[in-house]
Structure 1
Amino acid sequence: MNKTILLTFCLFISAFVHAQNYHLDLTTFEEKYIKEILNEVSQHKDQKEYAKAISGYNEIKKYLDTIPRLIPLKLILNAEKAKLFEKLNQYDSAATLYKDSKEIFNYIPGIIQDLPDIYVDIVIGGIQVDKKTEKYPQAIQELYNALLKVPGDQGKLRSKLYYHLGYTYWYIKDLEQAEKQFRTALSYSNISPFFKNSCYMGLGDALIKKDLDSSLYYYRKAEAYFANKTDKTNYQINQTNIANALILKDSLAKAEKILLNSKEYFENIKLTPYLIPVYTLLANINLNKPDLKSALYYLEMANPITLTKGSLRHREKFFEIYVEYSRTIRDSSTARHFNNQAKAVKDSIFNSEKLTQIEVYEVKHRNEINEIKIAAQNDLIASQIKQRNILLISLIVLGILIFILFLLYKQKLKFQKDLLNKKDELANQQLATLKETQKAERIQAKLDGQQQERSRIAKDLHDSIGGNLAAIKMQLTHLKSEEEQLNYIIKNVDTTYNELRMVSQNLFVQPADKPFTLSLEDLVDQYNSNKTIVELYLFPHNQINFISNTIQTELYPVLKEILTNIFKHAEANYCNINITVHEDYLNLIIEDDGVGFNPSKANLGLGLSNIKTRINTLNGEIQIESIPNTGTTININIPLAHA
């Protein structure tokens, strides 16, 4: 019996299960029984006898159904069995297994929180089947549902869901949504390196028609990571993507060299589905040389595997290239045939009913998120009202007691001041009568002591009751609309507090240093109001704290001056601030929807002059675009090498 099989199986389980509710310690009998069956299953899988392997899993499942504590094992077995059904192209059976597993998560309270890794893997397995069977709306719905159920602190798992959501949108050619989901996945700080670089590949795919240079940039970012992996499959997939981008940039020779390497790799390991885009792109290159004989060769190589194993996107691209080839050789009949095929694929992708379903799921997802936020807000409001009702009388009584104590303290303070004044008068009289230097120094020492006493009293005023008075004033002010009889108290507290501030105004301590991102957020909070909403986006968030002190020192007053101008002159309802750290420069974009102005006619005021001076100091560039009654956009680029 192969002990390695059971050990691998148990390690697989321990990687997923962290809940105390499920005790997975196997008895000696259970371990022996499962080990024997797994040994047989492993042999069947090695020999590609998938039906027999499924029978072995079914035998284990019957046993697990009798032991509730082994639910996690049952879920994992379902997932493994579903993968075997996929290898047999029995997608309905695979989908049923994934569905049964998801129903277990729906019916057992708290199981998703206990087993989030297993839940996410089952959801992803199910949507992979949905995509293979072209049920894209259903896949999108399942991913949105999973995002609602997976806890917010599970960033690593949520990033996986957003990654698969991005590629599902990519398959139906909603590239804008695809880009959005990939960027959301990358926003999680604990995203795994594999999915991080897979998202870079996804961004390359999503941007290839919108921004070819950016597409190549993200492909290159992923290239370094996958090149260092022992398994070169993902590296070669990314190389195929790079070749596609190079073809669009007319770099046919470079693209062909890359594709021939990918062709050799995939042919050697017999990964025929990945040969579809390779053959199709090679046909495209030879069609443009033109080398029609080679183009036809690659089209004929791609044809059988495209029709049997190709996705909708692969089939559409293949049909388009075949149409172009047929027109080149003036074979109108073949061109018409493949053109109809391409049209059918496009109609399948852009089926209006499917798109409507997806829109409904997106709206439903947004509404569910809003309902969750509203429910949480209502709970918070109810809790605050309850606390306020309980504390209302206590605060009033406490306020009265503190006020009485304050009056007593004020009387004591007055007595001390009178005593000090009398001492001052006596000291002045003694000083006037003293003629010798020694006596004058003693009197001066007394005066110094009195000054120290005054300082001590001022500090006592601030430290002992200053903070309390400020808190009392705030609480009483909040209660003012409900308790009108507190007006007199509030007035006296306010007057006394102002007197205390005058006495102790030099005792305040400056705040300690804090991260630059927090300083920026505090600055934006100062300008945020009901009149103008200011939103700040920092990317990558943590990296901004590590830009040079020189840039931080100059950038902060620049942003403050711009915000001041917006609030003084723009009459804007909305202001959007984006700060992004690129590889060699920092980009700051400020946009508002205010009244705008004509930059060519505007006077170069002191504020704008100071901004340009600071940017020039950093060897940066600033561009201002503004149209009257439309808004203003300010774009600032600062080289990081300046530091």
Structure 2
Amino acid sequence: MNKFISFLVLIFLLGCNSDKKSVDEKKRLDVFFTKSSDINLDKSLRLKYLDSIIHINEKIKNNDSLVIINYFKIANRFFMLLEYDRYKETTDKILELSRLNKDSVNMAKAEYYKGDYFFSTSQNDSAYYYYLAAEKKYEKTEDRVSLANTILHKAYILSYEKDFIGSESETIKVLSIAKTIGDDYLIYEAYTNLGSSLAGLENYEKALEYHKKALSQVDKLDDENYKPLLQAQALNNIGFAYLSSSNFKEASTFFSEGLKIENLKEIQPVLFSSLLDHYAYSRFKMNHKEGLKDFETALQVRDDINDVYGKINSRIHLTEYYLSKRDTAKALQFNQEANLLAKESSYNKEVLITLDFFTRLLPKQGLEYARAYIKLNDSLQNQERATRNKLARIAFETDEIIVEKEALSTQKKIILLTSLFIISLGVLLYIILYQRGKQKELLFEQEQQKVNEEIYTLMLKKQHEIDFARENEKLKIARDLHDNVLNKLASTRLNLFPLSKRQDEETIQKAIGQINGIINIESEIRLISHELAKEEFLNRNNFKTLVEELMENQKATYSVACEYDITDHEALENIGSAIKMHLYRIIQETLNNINKHANATKITVELYIQKEKLYLEIADNGVGFNVDKAKKGIGLKNIYMRTKEINGRIDVVSEKNKGTKITVKVRI
């Protein structure tokens, strides 16, 4: 007992230690996640914290959902640190785990993350493929926010690849979902992208309408810290639409409004420098002379933060500015810098703009630059067309794959249902056939029972006839003894009585004459003895006799040593006829089974009464059998059934190659 209590205490302590360890690891993870997100820490230190998180996460067992959640957090931090390769590596792990667990929700999220990786690394075709794959999975869930965000990123790619109509179509889907679920931020993003797509189609009037809707939508947002940035972005977009439509006055007004937002330079220097550069450019186009300072300030900010796209555009604007001032040297310097940066960064549209400026800045090489311009422009158009076709093909092939998968899934369902139907039909047929077999077996048993009863009835009838004949013989013998032998003995006694009184010659002669009478009496007694012998024969036809005859017949028929011992035969005759009949049949059936299956060389049968119980023991030295399996056979079933019908108990013991013993006990 003490050992058991000690064992329970040990288990409890181990469980406590395990729980404590889990809690400690969770606390460590929380601390490391917080540290890895701290923008005040050095990037290398934040990466070390992320490595520690990965190490802990890989040791978590039997909780894939927690592992996946942690991997998503890790991926987000790698993305914010611009560690795109490690971001992709982590996302691949999530995708692999999700596929193993058949977790379509996390698979969709991981594919969305992979789309972000390829979009951020300018691999738009791959990004489109993964966004599309994520979209198809999100369509089957209730997660409308993730679905809308995925479609929106597809729209961004289409807009980037100059497929403005496709981008507009996808963004309208996003707007519909966003309005249905009441997501104000998504509505803002949809309005913004619709404005940009329409501006790309040069439908500036509608573009301005949606950009202004986006500006109004900012007021509905809850995040007070984020609202100023979104407001500045909307003002910049409106100003740029006016600028693109050559309405420089309205453009400068909205750029100016954007620049009034407090601390914008510190919070979002990219957006600040864009507003300032656009403001300076719109005022330059309005022939204001004081725009140079704003151009230079915007350029300085962009150089400081290494905003490559901004650096190129600032230099292009300064090229145009100095060209208008006829300062060819300055204009050429900025244009060469812009051209070099654009080529290095694959900003081909900006390369075209610089080539156009070269034709004006270097007239002698104008034809050469013009040819380069035309060649690049044609190449860009072909590339854009090829990319749009590729994106359309990805969408088409993805839809085809989905249709094929659905068809395959339907086919599998049909095969499964057909298989289930066939199996069910087979099981039903088996049950019907089995039931019919059982019914036939039951009918056979009933018929056998009826035959057995008829046989025993005949046996009883025969026994009754034997008993009747025996009684008649007894009466006849009694009559013969009484009417004949006794009378003659009495007469002889009387005739011999005088001899006891006198022994004279005459008396002796008379006595001698009676000797013939005694001889006659002897003959009559002998005749009666013969009649009694016949009755003894009849006595042998009782239960004991039947069993003995069965055993002698066994000896005569089979070359197997057969021993039997039947005691208390008088008591046996007093038991019920049904018990006798069933015991006789059990012996008969058992001998039959031994002859057929046992390969025995010796059989022993004992029948005796002990403590008000009748015992029947049958043993052989044969090969034995599996009792559990043999119970299903008709022979052994009949033996069990007969024992049950006489309220007896049966015990069957069999051992391989050591023989079998059957014991039947019946209370009498």
- TM-score normalised by structure 1 residue count: 0.49
Larger radius of gyration: 2
| Larger RCO (CA within 8 A; separation ≥ 6) | 1
Q: Which has the higher helix share?
A: 2
- TM-score normalised by structure 2 residue count: 0.47
